[in-house]
Amino acid sequence: MNSTHHTLFHEEQARKLPARTFDVVIAGGGTAGVVAAIAAARQGAKTILVESNGYPGGVAVEGGTAIHSFYNLWKAFPGVEKRQVVRGIPAEMIERLVGMGGCTGAPEMQHGYDYDSVCTAIDTELYKLNAFEMLAEAGVYVCVNTLLVGAIREGSALKGVILESRAGREAIYAKSFVDCTGYGDLAAQAGASFSEPNDYAVANSMGLGNVDLEKFYQYLAANDAVGDLCYGTRSGKEDLIIRLGGRSARLPEGFHRGAEEIGMTLLTTTVHDNYCMFIKLNLRLTHSPTDRDAVSQAELELRQRMRKGVTLLRQYIPGFENAFIARTSPSLCIRRGRLIACDYDISHADVVEGRHFNDDVFVYGFHDMAPRIQIKDGGTYGIPYRALCVQGLDNLYVAGMMITSDHRAHMSTRNTVSCMGMGQATGTAAALCAQQDCGSRDLSYSDLRAALVQAGVYLEAV
């Protein structure tokens, strides 16, 4: 039995809800949603952002190790030029974060550069604050601690959403909508077609305090077990380790086997001394992560795994003797929830061949399966506008991990900087649609492209 099987039902009474009107609703203030909301508001739209946590940030601040990637994979392809291919609002956020001392910028990888050429590591707490401040400066009406629970649909148009918070339920009417919930909650509520591939492990990640990274590095080096390695600015000092990965198979059998059993990856980034920002614990679910009961069990299991993980590290790995769990995600992180059917589905061939389209809204050059799967010649592929328009709905976009059915292609499109790029594209498009009173398919691509380029988005010549 799981949370979808019920035999007992209660009929809810219809209620009159207080209502408000906006131009654009951005559902979910995570990796994509923050950028989408800033983009929509800067475009002049009266924008509301709805986020269930008490802060914006999403999986970028809960799960990932590094922000992959604003650059092409130039280091893996000798002779290929280094290019910053994602710019605009995502890059502005990172530049501000660097200024706050909350990001490493983009120092070059020393080892593991056939995976990513640079390491952009963040201070998770300053990322949240920076996102919050940028949203406020852009004039976004930010509702945190607020859950989107319903959609108001008329024919093929979305008219509004239902929100729930401690202040009660309310309706928000708007002209354009962007689902950035990661799970596809708005699209599903709106009646969009979707599937739930359940093709990834879920994870919680812990930040570990009291870790001697240099000692950890010496131990890995002595065992020929250094995986990823990058030096950058840490606690304000330059040329210190900011990314370090270990090859567990070369370490004691007890550690290697124990780490495998709990899905622990020996890879971290940091911007602070004595701190491992992310150590990930992975877990395969038997049901999709939309299943509440399966997730409840997994939340407990992951916390037990974290305890085992820190115990293993203390026991076997020099540098971790006094480590403690300093941070965990408030709830488990997903790599994919619902896959929403859109007008175009980016294919594996599109990604690896580095294809561009006549409606590209940004370009991207990172693949999470590199070096096994790489984008041709260290180049980029384009994200077409159509890939973000939800099938069967006139005024709903999706941005983030909800697109791309092919697992291999999704291993590129789901990464943070790609999600941020989708955010800028959809937020801008939603604002233009609201201003022109048109649906997503009636928006002129040249208008959208001009607005994106004006806001600093980089596009390749086709």
Ligand X SMILES: Cc1cc2nc3c(=O)[nH]c(=O)nc-3n(C[C@H](O)[C@H](O)[C@H](O)COP(=O)(O)OP(=O)(O)OC[C@H]3O[C@@H](n4cnc5c(N)ncnc54)[C@H](O)[C@@H]3O)c2cc1C
**With binding defined as CB under 6 A, does residue 67 bind ligand X?**
yes
Count, residues in the chain? 462
Minimum CB separation of residue 442 from ligand X in Å reads 26
Distances in whole angstroms, Cα of residue 296 to Cα of each of 204, 205, 287, 291, 438: 13, 16, 12, 9, 42
3-state secondary structure at position 109:
strand
Based on CB atoms, which residue is closest to ligand X, 76 or 219? 76
**With binding defined as CB under 6 A, does residue 63 bind ligand X?**
yes
Minimum CB separation of residue 257 from ligand X in Å reads 22
Minimum CB separation of residue 12 from ligand X in Å reads 18
Options 48-56, 383-391, 425-433, 446-454: segment touching ligand X (CB under 6 A): 48-56
User: Counting Cβ atoms within 10 Å, is residue 340 exposed (0-12), middle (13-18) or buried (19+)?
Assistant: buried
How many angstroms separate the CA atoms of 211 and 217, rounded?
A: 11
**With binding defined as CB under 6 A, does residue 305 bind ligand X?**
no
Options 5-13, 92-100, 333-341, 436-444: segment touching ligand X (CB under 6 A): 333-341
How many angstroms separate the CA atoms of 367 and 22, rounded?
A: 37
- 379 in Cβ contact with 366 (< 8 Å): no
Minimum CB separation of residue 88 from ligand X in Å reads 16
Q: Draw the binding track, 91-130, toward ligand X (x: CB under 6 A; -: no contact).
A: ----------------------------------------
Q: Draw the binding track, 391-430, toward ligand X (x: CB under 6 A; -: no contact).
A: ---------xx------------xxx--x-----------
| Residue 293, φ and ψ in degrees, nearest 5 | -70, -40
**With binding defined as CB under 6 A, does residue 29 bind ligand X?**
yes
Helices within 150-271 (DSSP H only): 185-189, 213-222, 253-261
Options 98-106, 154-162, 181-189, 429-437: segment touching ligand X (CB under 6 A): 181-189
How many angstroms separate the CA atoms of 420 and 69, rounded?
A: 10
Minimum CB separation of residue 79 from ligand X in Å reads 26
Closest CA to 100 of 70, 134, 66, 71: 134
Options 11-19, 58-66, 233-241, 429-437: segment touching ligand X (CB under 6 A): 58-66
Based on CB atoms, which residue is closest to ligand X, 63 or 354? 63
Minimum CB separation of residue 398 from ligand X in Å reads 9
- 40 in Cβ contact with 47 (< 8 Å): yes
Based on CB atoms, which residue is closest to ligand X, 313 or 419? 419
Contact residue for ligand X among 25, 41, 58, 409 (CB under 6 A): 58
**What's the one-letter identity of residue 59?**
V
Q: In what order do the strands lie in the sheet with 202-209?
A: 275-283, 202-209, 324-328
Q: Between residue 272 and residue 301, which ones bind ligand X under the rule CB under 6 A? A: 280
**With binding defined as CB under 6 A, does residue 228 bind ligand X?**
no
**With binding defined as CB under 6 A, does residue 135 bind ligand X?**
no
Distances in whole angstroms, Cα of residue 85 to Cα of each of 70, 89, 447: 6, 13, 21
Helices within 196-263 (DSSP H only): 213-222, 253-261
Minimum CB separation of residue 350 from ligand X in Å reads 18
How many angstroms separate the CA atoms of 70 and 420, rounded?
A: 10
What's the gap between Cα 281 and its chain centre? 17
Which residue of this chain has its Cβ atom nearest to ligand X in the complex? Answer: 30
- 23 in Cβ contact with 45 (< 8 Å): yes
| Residue 403, φ and ψ in degrees, nearest 5 | -105, 165
Contact residue for ligand X among 22, 23, 25, 31 (CB under 6 A): 31
**With binding defined as CB under 6 A, does residue 132 bind ligand X?**
no
**With binding defined as CB under 6 A, does residue 53 bind ligand X?**
yes
Options 304-312, 329-337, 346-354, 449-457: segment touching ligand X (CB under 6 A): 329-337
Q: Site for ligand X (CB under 6 A): how many residues?
A: 39
**With binding defined as CB under 6 A, does residue 28 bind ligand X?**
yes
- What residues make contact with ligand X under the rule CB under 6 A? 27-33, 50-53, 58-60, 63-68, 147-148, 180-183, 185, 203, 205, 280, 333-335, 400-401, 414-416, 419
